[in-house]
Chain A
Amino acid sequence: MRWTSDLRSVGVRPAFPRTSRPPVLTIGGLILICAILLSGAPAEKHLAVYSVAANYSVQLVQREGRPYVGLLELLEPLGKVSAKTENKSWRLRYNNVEGDFQVGKTHARVQGRDADLIGKFFVENNRGLVPLGSLASLLPRFLGGPVTLHEESGRLFIGSVATHFTASLSADNPPRLVFHFTAPVNPTIATELGALRMTFSREPLVAPASPTLTFGNKAIPSAIYSESNGAAVVTVNASIPVMATFSSDGRTVTISSNSPSAAAQTATQNAVPAAPGTPASPGQPAPAPSSSNAPPPAAPVSRRYFAVVDASHGGDDHGETLSNTLLEKDVTVALARSLRQELESRGIPTLVLRDSDANLSVDQRAIFANADHAAIYIAVHAASNGHGVRVYTALLPFGGDDRATFRSWTTAQHAALPLSKSIAAAVAAEFQRRQIPVRTLTAPLRPLNNVTGAAIAVEVAPQGSDSSQLTAPDYQQLVTSAVATAIAATRDQLGAAQ
């Protein structure tokens, strides 16, 4: 009010005269309409891809009323891929396999042989788009192995990677429903009235013989398997409050009653309830409250990573040129993704620091690792010279430069170096156990010296003289599973330091 009178006293006209009210209302109305329209916008569709090398997802786009997928994005995590556009021809090279696609045509040639598409081929920004339904016949030509496509749910399985499960109901009172999985799982647990839902976004879970499992029990009558938008969902129907408990390194999930008597029983297992909607860690149960006496849902808890895996180099920094067509930065990403899969399959929450071809300075990498307070930082490198694997810890001067509570940036690793050396020795021992040549060394390699927690670098070289072995999924898995096994074995040691 005072401002208004002041303005009037000096003869300044208000910015919006009376006649401006309708436009204000119009703008407000438009914003409201936009908000309503946007809230109703369909969610982006994705294709989840499961392979030995990596699990990832790529975006689907709608063209001519059917879902399409970009071949470059799809094949990039699996090997060396490049594409070239010439007039209406789009040539794709994946490792040593060449494919020739024609814009607007429904057939292509792969390795000189015809391949039919179920819809027209498109090129947009040098991205070759093929109908999703064509992948089942097209990809085996490029990959040289079988693929299984779940077109409706947007899930693609490359090779024999599927995780199967069984469910059995115990005769206890209250009953317990036990799921056994063929590989460790870490689903997101969500609860609603009369149901507990486990969503498997990263695991290649496949349906049992029948998607509906009935148990003939009033408390837990059935469980239903379904798939949609790149995820598998197992919904357990229950008439009592239930909770999920993980055991056997994430291979077993037990759904049991969450009633007070049962809670007392589970308390002896040091069970800690997880917040609804958040990924449950192995060994931690997720409660499913009933509608009547349900406590208010807890706020979502941000995920804390135990391990940070850093795919070294990236962007302008190619690292070593391993061959004419192979750059270190590409191999490190594939290795990092494989290591994440191996670690997470052992129930270790893992963050891949560089999951794309991005520029990241060594300082940024150290800052991310330190800010996340991860128990272990693992930098991944690849090399063409030498054989096997080298495991490095930081080369630091004797005696730190720390001042009181402040740590010197260049020697921030100082306090954690004994632990880092211990972990490096454990990793090397695992490689030796698997008869992979290995050495442990110190190296003036940033950002190892800038990381405050345990930090190691793993440099992977081929076992022979052929650098292309670095892209072989089986060799990558051999290396990353050894690292993951060693990290899992030293988990208590790392957790105590964290």
Chain B
Amino acid sequence: MIPRHLVIAMSVLLLAALGLSVYAWHMRKTVAATPVASTDTRLLAPPFAGPTERVTLYVAHDDDGSLRAESALIPLPSGRQQRAEELLRALLSLYLDKSSPHALGSGADIRSVFLVDPGVAVIDLNSAFADTHRSGVLVEDLTVTSLIHTISANTPGILKVKILVDGKERDTLAGHADLSDFYDVTAVNQLATQLQPGQ
């Protein structure tokens, strides 16, 4: 004969398990019905709204595989690191535009830029930037050179640049351009010269 209190306890536990199962099933249905927000593809406007400055952006053009200097008037903060970030965001907004001469995947963004003395800049891209980037030696070459040449030409004192993705090291941008090492700015500037139109 099973004691009465054990029967009651077992019944309560079974009821609780049944109730929780129904609740879990209900929650699962609710979650499935809720549309999941896809990757946020909204363009981020430059958050800084201070005085504008004329800067030179080095913009990649896929049609002739060139890097062209383009003048732009953008609001820039006074801090060196924040200026570097705004510069690259301005460049990125060109690439994310519908009429982009060098289209990047939706959701591509610059997470942050760190300037580390002496003369090292670290550009941290988000994973969408690298994951959606087109693969190819030239197309990746253009992106890397565009980023590094733009930041080094407008931020004096940068000698080396390291590119991270989501704060981590990555072998290549999209299968070709090497991201495992630091870029020497002088060498990249020479490459930028090679990539000028008509070269």
Known: A390-B138, A444-B183, A459-B137. A381 touches B191 (CB 8 A): no
- CB of B154 within 8 Å of the partner chain: no
Partner of B139, one of A385, A439, A445: A385
Q: Please report the C-alpha to C-alpha distance between residue A383 and residue B174 in the assembled complex, in whole angstroms.
A: 13
Nearest B residue (CB) for A448: B178
User: How many residues of A sit at the interface, in one of the four size bands?
Assistant: 20 to 34
- CB of B177 within 8 Å of the partner chain: yes
Nearest B residue (CB) for A410: B181
- CB of B124 within 8 Å of the partner chain: no
Nearest B residue (CB) for A439: B65
Report chain A residues within 8 Å CB of B136: 320, 381, 383-385, 459
A-B contact count (CB 8 A): 79
Q: Identify which of residues 174-192 in chain A touch chain B, using a CB-to-CB cut-off of 8 Å.
A: none
Q: Please report the C-alpha to C-alpha distance between residue A385 and residue B137 in the assembled complex, in whole angstroms.
A: 10
Verify A320–B141 contact, CB threshold 8 A: no
Partner of A396, one of B65, B177, B187, B194: B187
Partner of B178, one of A317, A320, A385, A446: A446
Question: SS class of chain A's interface: helix, strand, loop or mixed?
Answer: mixed
Name 7 extra pairs, CB < 8 A, besides A320-B175, A396-B187, A457-B137.
A385-B136, A397-B182, A439-B65, A441-B194, A442-B194, A445-B177, A446-B180
Q: Please report the C-alpha to C-alpha distance between residue A200 and residue B143 in the assembled complex, in whole angstroms.
A: 48
Known: A319-B175, A439-B65, A442-B194. A398 touches B184 (CB 8 A): yes
- CB of A443 within 8 Å of the partner chain: yes
Q: What are 25 A-B interface contacts by the 8 Å CB criterion?
A: A320-B135, A320-B175, A321-B135, A381-B176, A384-B136, A386-B138, A390-B65, A392-B137, A395-B191, A397-B186, A398-B184, A398-B186, A398-B187, A410-B181, A441-B141, A441-B191, A442-B187, A442-B191, A443-B137, A444-B144, A444-B178, A445-B137, A445-B177, A449-B178, A457-B137
Verify A386–B178 contact, CB threshold 8 A: no
In the A-B complex, the 4 residue pairs with the closest CB atoms: A397-B184, A320-B135, A383-B136, A444-B178
- CB of A342 within 8 Å of the partner chain: no
Partner of A381, one of B62, B137, B183: B137
Q: Which of B62, B136, B183, B194 has the most CB of A within 10 A?
A: B136
Q: Please report the C-alpha to C-alpha distance between residue A384 and residue B139 in the assembled complex, in whole angstroms.
A: 10
Report chain A residues within 8 Å CB of B132: none
Chain B: minimal CB distance from A355 (Å): 20
Q: Please report the C-alpha to C-alpha distance between residue A444 and residue B194 in the assembled complex, in whole angstroms.
A: 14
Known: A317-B175, A398-B184. A385 touches B195 (CB 8 A): no
Nearest A residue (CB) for B172: A446
- CB of A354 within 8 Å of the partner chain: no
Verify B141–A444 contact, CB threshold 8 A: yes
Verify A383–B139 contact, CB threshold 8 A: yes
- CB of B134 within 8 Å of the partner chain: yes
Verify A385–B134 contact, CB threshold 8 A: yes
- CB of A313 within 8 Å of the partner chain: yes
Q: Please report the C-alpha to C-alpha distance between residue A320 and residue B176 in the assembled complex, in whole angstroms.
A: 9
- CB of B190 within 8 Å of the partner chain: yes
Known: A385-B136, A390-B137. A442 touches B176 (CB 8 A): no
- CB of A430 within 8 Å of the partner chain: no
Q: Identify which of residues 348-395 in chain A touch chain B, using a CB-to-CB cut-off of 8 Å.
A: 381, 383-386, 390, 392, 395
- CB of B87 within 8 Å of the partner chain: no
B129-172 toward A: CB 8 Å interface, digit per residue (1/0)? 00000111111010010000000000000000000000000001
- CB of A328 within 8 Å of the partner chain: yes
Report chain B residues within 8 Å CB of A383: 136-139
Report chain A residues within 8 Å CB of B139: 383, 385
Report chain B residues within 8 Å CB of A317: 175
Chain A: minimal CB distance from B120 (Å): 13
Q: Identify which of residues 407-456 in chain A touch chain B, using a CB-to-CB cut-off of 8 Å.
A: 410, 439-446, 449
Q: Please report the C-alpha to C-alpha distance between residue A385 and residue B177 in the assembled complex, in whole angstroms.
A: 16
